[in-house]
Structure formats: C-alpha cells, structure tokens
Structure 1
Amino acid sequence: MVRPALEVADIFRAHGPAWRQAQQSHLSLGQLKVMSAIEQCRTATLGGHLLHCPACEHDEIAYNSCRNRHCPKCQASAAKRWLEARQADLLPVDYYHLVFTLPAPISAIAYTNKAVIYRLLFEIAAETLSTIAADPKHLGGRIGATLVLHTWGSALTHHPHVHGIAPGGGLSLDGDRWINCKPGFFLSVRVLSRLFRRRFLEELSKAQAAGQLQFFGEYAHLADPVVFADWLAPLKKCEWVVYAKRPFAGPKAVLAYLSRYTHRVAIANSRLISMDEREVTFRWKDYRAKGKTRHKTMTLATDEFIRRFLLHVLPSGFHRIRHYGWLANTGRHDKLAQIRELLHVVPAETKVIESSAESVQAVFVCPDCGAPMIIIDILARKPLIRAPPLQRGVP
C-alpha cells in the first residue's frame, strides 16, 4: 500500500510538542495518550521486524503499529479482522441503514459529558428501534441491530450520531416464525424520531437530576434543575434528525458499508492535502450543498486542526460498536441458528470455513515481487523516557 503524502502523524510530530505545551492545562490524559500513540505509530520507538524476501532477496523493516483506535493508519487492519468475524452473522434478507442524530444544543453539552450522553445515544436509539419494531402496527417482531458511534462531521466539528445496520425483519414475538418488513421499507422514520426524542429527553433529565452531568462556561447555569428544564423545553418541539436509507444491494454491500464505517476515525489520511508552519488543508463534504459542489477544501490553523481532531477522543473503555436484540453477543449464535432454520438457509459457519481456507495469505508480502517475506530479526521497542514526578514547592 502506498503511503499517503501527508498523515495526521506528520502533523502531530511537527506541531504536537508546541501545542501540548501551550494547552497542557486543558488536555485530558486520554487525549495525550492518543497523540503519543499516533506520533509513535510505525516508528522505531515501537520496535518491529526485519523482513527478507527469499524470492528476490529484498530486505526491509516493518515497524509495529500503535493499534490505537483513534489512529488513521491502524484502523484498516482492525476493520478487516472485525468484518471477517461478522460475515457469519449475515442473513439472506435486505439490510437497512438508519441514523440517529442529536440536535446541536445537546451536542454542545455532550463534549463535557461524553460517557453519559454517548451511552444514552446508544441505549435510546436501540430501545426506540426495538419498541417500534415490536409494535404489531409496524413490524410485530424482535429485531437485531448493530450501532456504530460517530462523533464528527466532515469538517471535524463535534456532531454525535449513531449509524445503525439492521436486517429487514424480525423474529415473531413467540419465536416461531420470521417476519419480513415491507419491501423497501423498514420502520417509520417519523415514529422513530418522535419516540427517540421523547425517551432521550426523559433520560437526560433523569441524568441531570442525579448529578451525572457537568456544565462549564456558558452552560454553567444549566446545573440548576429549573433552568435545565426550561432549556430542554424547545427541544421537545423541534425536529430530531432520524432517517433511513434505501436497503443495501445484497450482503456484499452491507460488508462494504461496514468496512467504511465501523472503524472510521475523525479524518482519514487520504483527505489531507497539505501542511505548512501555520495551516493544514484537507478535503471535506458539505452536505448542505448539492452535486459536485459538496466536495470542498478547508484550511485550518494547525492548532485548530489538532483541537478538532482531539474533540473525538472517546472515554477510556467506551465501546463505539454495539450489538442489540438477537445480534447482542449473549445468545447471538443460537438466535442466528434459529433464524436460519426458519429461513431455510445453510448455516454460515460452513461457508466461512471454506472461504477462509482458500484465502490464506502471507502476513508480510514483498513490495517488489509479491512473494511471502520471512522475519529474520526482531527489533525491540525503545524504552520510553518519562519525566520525574512533580514535587510540591519544587519548580
């Protein structure tokens, strides 16, 4: 694979130290760890392997990856491994893509309350889908869904939303039959939007009353329950963006979509255009425009680019891909087997075993001749230099 001309790591290495020094009182430990991981990714600091190609005698060094989930370079291989595991879950039915988006005022307070509000976004979106699907007026069955959290817009602004992938149908409530949704139509977007809005605001109010939310700066006054209730009132009337796209064109299209969305980070290296001492220029998509005018370029001050990138660092241990209903990890294997029996399809496990046996590839491939390369030496990681602990009263 050809290395992009410019990478996020290049920006962090060139401007990160000065930026960290200027912002040291405003950065979280998680953000510092992300910057450090991306800067060290595939460098001698993390160690690596000395490779040799027996076919053409080519030698090269392959440095280790940081494997940080926010690193643009490390997500392609992670997505590939995840997709291979998901192939066994696919069913021969239409799949639908849904999106649940938070309105701008809630997005504004979500940044300082990531763990709480992102969790609510997942839980309420899943609950909304399950509740409406179980209603006999709509589908009358139990569904499965995979939800993926994205926190960014194309311009790196903070824009929390979840993408949902759901098979077009569900198990009957008694579990005896499979219920297909109407052709080309999964669930009513209008109904989903109304329930999602109501339930999210209810749970957000409970979180505020329980003292689970933090407010700073211009939002500090929202700590008062009365003021918070007044602030929420207009959000009960405005439209919340929930939409569904047309069904995918078969299982391969589902996997292609998942490969693009599940392990995506705030910006891919391929979108970066240039960097100098003061600015970074990148490509972005303006969804308010139409046609070719959607595709634009944006130039930000380097400090602002780094700030926007780090807006999207997730809380430690927070899972951004979650499965619900009969796709939840607990009982998924048995439920899928039951559904395949009802649909009269061959279990996917057989197909996966056969295809994997045919597609075994070498881990390292020679860039000159394409032959498998062998590891002839291990390059150890360099010891990390850590500053001594600060002592009170000592500069």
Structure 2
Amino acid sequence: MQKEIVSHDIKSTSQFSVKGIFLDDHHWDVYKYDHGDDLRQVEVDEVKKMLHCKDGSRGFFVYHCPRCDESRIVYLGCNSRLCSCCGKNYTDKWSKSLKKAMFDVVHRHIVMSVPNVLWEVMKRFRRRCLKVYMDAAISAINNTLSYFLNKRVMAGVIVVLHPFARDLGFKPHLHLLITEGGFDKKGRFVRKRFIPAEAMRKTWQYQVLNRFRDVLPGSPGFARFIDGLFKRYPNGFYVYLPKKSRITSKRKVGRYVARYIRHPAIANTRICGYDGGTVRFWYKDNEGVTYVVTMDVFEFIEALIQHVPDRQFKMIRYYGAYARRWKSRFGVYVQESITQSKLGDFSQNRGIRCPVCGEKMEFVMYWKTGPPSKEVFGEKIDDWHHLSVRVDAI
C-alpha cells in the first residue's frame, strides 16, 4: 500500500465500483482460490451477495402506471456489508427509524478508541474482544455521568462499531449517540450539558483493559502487557466530543447518522482510479488533509473483507435507557419503539413514480427469483399476467 498527500480536492465520480473490481478479470475467484483456507464463510457469503446485487436473481417488484400503462421492474438489493449502494439505503432507513425511537432530549455524538497496540489483539481475538469493547463504553459513560451528577443515573446510549479506518486499515473505534444526562432511580431525566470527556478517558481505559483481561488468555505475558498500558497511557484512552456534536432535535439525527455513524467501509465515489491491477482511492483525515491510497487489487479485496463482522454479531447496540428491558419504563420521552422496515410495508412506503407521466405507480407483484430468460419484460403489463400463479403478491 502506498499513501500520498494531494493538495487539491478530488472530484467524486461513479466510474468505478467495488463490485466491478471484484468481478473484473475474475479477481474475486482468483483471490478465493488462493486464500480459501483462510477465508471465513461469512466473508464468502457477503461477497456473493454483493456480486448478485440487483441482477434479478434475488427477486424483484413489478409496478404499473394506471394512467399511461407503463410498467417498471425494481430489482432487490443485496444488503451486503460490502455493498456501497445498499449500505447507504440501509443507513437512510435506519436513520428515519432512529429519529422516531430516540428520546426527545438533547443527544451528543462521542468517538471512543484505544491505542494501536491493541488493534492486532482485537483482530486476532475479535469474537472475544469486540462485544466487551462496546460494553465497556456504556459503563464508562454511566460511571462518569453518575460521578459528576452525584447520583446514580442511566444514560441512553446507541453504540456503533466501526472496525475500519478511512484508509481501510483495521482500526476498531466506537461512535456513540448518548443522551445529555441520564435517568435516576425514580425515572426522572437529569440533564448534564457539560460532559467531561477528559475525565471519561481514565474510566474508559479502566473498563476496556479490565474487560479484556477477563476474556483474553490468562498468560503472565498478557497480564504484564495490560498493566503496562495503564502506565504507558496515564491520561487514559481516546475520547472525543466533536465541537458540533450537540444534537438538539430529532430532525438533525439523519444528517449525523449518514455522516458519522453508519456507512460502508468505502463508497464507490471514493475510488478514483483502477487499471486492472491496482486500485486508487482517496480520503480526508480529521484535519481535512486529502490522501490518495494505492493498493494492489488483491490487497484491496483483503482490506475490504476483513471488516465483515462475524455472523450474528451486532455492529449497532442499544444500551442503558435504550436497552429493551428499560426503554418501556421511560416511554414518556419517546414517541415510538425502535423498528426496522419490513418487506410487507414496502407497498405503502415505497413511492415509485412513473418515468413517463409522473403518476404514482401501482404495485403488481413480487417475484422471488430471477425472471425467466425467454420473457419480454418492461413493455406491457399484460406480459406478466400469465406469471401471476407463480408469484407472491403482497
């Protein structure tokens, strides 16, 4: 991997895509053949889903315009962790759901991380470390708020794990949306506008290292390593509150979620070059400096798939007052419970407009698999009538 600083902004384009790079010249097939024994099954499955995104094999919806008789096919996405397009769509839906679910109080955005000497340990023991890594954050927040409020309180915290850095390296860090204060034992919300990030650093360090000590191999060498980190970082671990992190209304949540909280490891618009053997992409660091990274295509594939989480691992977790067991108790502060969009709701929520006349199109059918190769699609709705016995209309 090569990295260089550029003095100009790079214009975003959609000329290249992650899917196209994986498919070109059978790069993914070659990589899978060479590294088959080292690949996790979840990595193989997520790549497979991405490569079949919107190709018809996963099914599609059919719509009909009642005004001009136009018909339209909408193919299903893949929802792969690697897909830039589906990742953005999921983020948009999640942010809308989140706005309805959040307590109607001020929230703050916080970033928490650990020194790079722990990254390789977390990568090697990811099954043991990543969950307790997220658990440690809520303990650090509740303990800090309780100390400065002189009473035990429970904050509402939404924790999102980002395993990747902007250069696609493994750099596990946490983005958190937390209530500006917490609930006391009587269920009353106690505000705390000033959240002491510096004071939280030591508590964060204590929670992380002690939890790692409990779940990692209990060798004398590792115990000395943990003790050494307390001495090496006397001021604690990284806790950052962005200057404009105060979210005063639910309407601002969507913008924050899209920019900071949940997004794919790399968007197609960040890929600025591909010649069949190397991939070039850009990113900006926290200081606004633009870098261009050049990777061999197989190095690029490896950098991407390493961030696929293990199956059933939740990258987004709801803690404290947002946890399911506590949320109903504080329902006066929230309008609706946290919900995910369901397939059965699409006909009411999806506003497909006719590309010819602009009329809202009517849902006709949902086809579970790819269209038969001999059929003519998209010309007249009559083409679909004889297929109705084989589809599930919703």
Q: TM-score range by the shorter chain?
A: 0.7 to 0.9
| 2:305 maps to amino acid | L
- Which segments of 5 or more consecutive residues in structure 1 lack a partner in the other structure? 211-224, 341-346, 353-359, 384-395
Equivalent in the alignment of 2:190: 179
CA 1:264–1:295 in 2, change beyond 3 Å: closer, same or farther? Answer: same
| 1:108 maps to amino acid | E
Equivalent in the alignment of 2:267: 268
CA 1:366–1:281 in 2, change beyond 3 Å: closer, same or farther? Answer: farther
- Residue 80 (structure 2) pairs with residue 68 (structure 1): yes
CA 1:272–1:56 in 2, change beyond 3 Å: closer, same or farther? Answer: farther
Pick from 234, 239, 242: which aligns with 1:242?
Answer: 239
* SS of match in other structure, 2:247: coil
Take 1:371 and 1:18, find their aligned partners in 2: how far apart are those partners? 47
Equivalent in the alignment of 1:303: 298
- Residue 157 (structure 2) pairs with residue 157 (structure 1): no
- Residue 4 (structure 2) pairs with residue 4 (structure 1): no
- Residue 345 (structure 2) pairs with residue 348 (structure 1): no
TM-score (norm 1): 0.78
Does the CA-based 8 Å contact 1:97-1:244 persist in structure 2?
yes
Take 1:89 and 1:32, find their aligned partners in 2: how far apart are those partners? 34
Q: How much identity, in percent, do the aligned residues show? A: 22
Take 1:139 and 1:369, find their aligned partners in 2: how far apart are those partners? 62
| Residues 279-303 of structure 1: CA deviation (Å, up to 9, x unaligned) | 112221233xx34xx1232221111
- Residue 105 (structure 2) pairs with residue 110 (structure 1): no
| 1:9 maps to amino acid | K
Pick from 191, 197, 213: which aligns with 1:189?
Answer: 197
CA 1:90–1:199 in 2, change beyond 3 Å: closer, same or farther? Answer: closer
Question: Is the deviation greater in 86-95 or in 161-170?
Answer: 86-95
Equivalent in the alignment of 2:360: 372
Equivalent in the alignment of 1:392: none
Pick from 317, 320, 333: which aligns with 2:315?
Answer: 320
CA 1:69–1:372 in 2, change beyond 3 Å: closer, same or farther? Answer: farther
Take 2:277 and 2:172, find their aligned partners in 1: how far apart are those partners? 29
CA 1:109–1:269 in 2, change beyond 3 Å: closer, same or farther? Answer: same
Equivalent in the alignment of 1:13: 23
CA 1:363–1:16 in 2, change beyond 3 Å: closer, same or farther? Answer: farther
* SS of match in other structure, 2:246: coil
Take 2:65 and 2:314, find their aligned partners in 1: how far apart are those partners? 39
| 2:276 maps to amino acid | E
Pick from 77, 89, 102: which aligns with 1:77?
Answer: 89
* SS of match in other structure, 1:348: coil
Equivalent in the alignment of 1:42: 54
| Residues 341-376 of structure 1: CA deviation (Å, up to 9, x unaligned) | xxxxxx635xx9xxxxxxx65443334544333455
| Residues 39-94 of structure 1: CA deviation (Å, up to 9, x unaligned) | 01111322323444444554443222122344222223323332333223334432
Take 1:370 and 1:8, find their aligned partners in 2: how far apart are those partners? 33
Take 1:208 and 1:47, find their aligned partners in 2: how far apart are those partners? 44
Measured after TM superposition, the shift of residue 13 of structure 1 is 1.6
- Residue 101 (structure 2) pairs with residue 89 (structure 1): yes
Take 2:86 and 2:102, find their aligned partners in 1: how far apart are those partners? 25
Question: Is the deviation greater in 318-327 or in 48-57?
Answer: 48-57
Measured after TM superposition, the shift of residue 232 of structure 1 is 2.6
Take 1:369 and 1:138, find their aligned partners in 2: how far apart are those partners? 63
Question: Is the deviation greater in 85-94 or in 262-271?
Answer: 85-94
Does the CA-based 8 Å contact 2:105-2:248 persist in structure 1?
no
Take 1:55 and 1:275, find their aligned partners in 2: how far apart are those partners? 45
| 2:335 maps to amino acid | A
- Which segments of 5 or more consecutive residues in structure 2 lack a partner in the other structure? 1-12, 340-347, 372-394
Does the CA-based 8 Å contact 2:281-2:293 persist in structure 1?
yes
- Residue 100 (structure 2) pairs with residue 100 (structure 1): no
Does the CA-based 8 Å contact 1:365-1:373 persist in structure 2?
yes
- Residue 43 (structure 2) pairs with residue 31 (structure 1): yes
Take 1:92 and 1:256, find their aligned partners in 2: how far apart are those partners? 17
Equivalent in the alignment of 1:256: 255
* SS of match in other structure, 2:137: helix
| 2:88 maps to amino acid | A
Take 2:54 and 2:167, find their aligned partners in 1: how far apart are those partners? 27
Does the CA-based 8 Å contact 1:47-1:382 persist in structure 2?
yes
